[in-house]
A = this chain, B = another copy of it.
Amino acid sequence: MEANLKAETLKILGDQTRLRVAYLLAASKRSLCVCEIVDSLKLPQYQISKSLVILRRAGLVGVDRNGTWGYYYPKTDQKTNTILFDFVKEYCIGEPFDGDLTELSKRLALRDGGRCVVGFVPEKELQKLIRKKTAAV
């Protein structure tokens, strides 16, 4: 299969929010729950949701639904996507990408059995929850 870069695709990634989401998915090699993305980027839920719809319509990401929860992942069925995600992962440097990734890793610490088990977590409560969880283990 041959990669084929199109202007349309670049346009999709040519938006700060969508690029941040794409970076998060590219950099963390796993599916992410919508609420984890929202908490990592600290943007309104509807913005993330809309960004994901657009990324999905462009064939860049896919979703596994688990009840009300949605797990998004970078689609790698087309070589172009793989190349693009690698590119994004490698060259999106500094803020806000670094910070987003840091927030994500904190959020991922709350997972249980590899699954997201909490919804939106306000920043203030995140530390508390993490401490509780580490204590429990």
Contact = CB atoms under 8 A, between A and B. Distances in A.
A10 B14 contact: yes
A93 B15 contact: no
Interface in A40-80: 80
A94 interface: yes
29 contacts: A2-B93, A3-B91, A3-B93, A4-B91, A4-B93, A4-B94, A5-B87, A5-B88, A5-B91, A5-B92, A5-B93, A7-B13, A7-B14, A7-B15, A7-B18, A7-B19, A8-B14, A10-B10, A10-B13, A10-B14, A10-B19, A11-B11, A11-B14, A11-B15, A12-B14, A13-B14, A14-B14, A83-B91, A87-B87
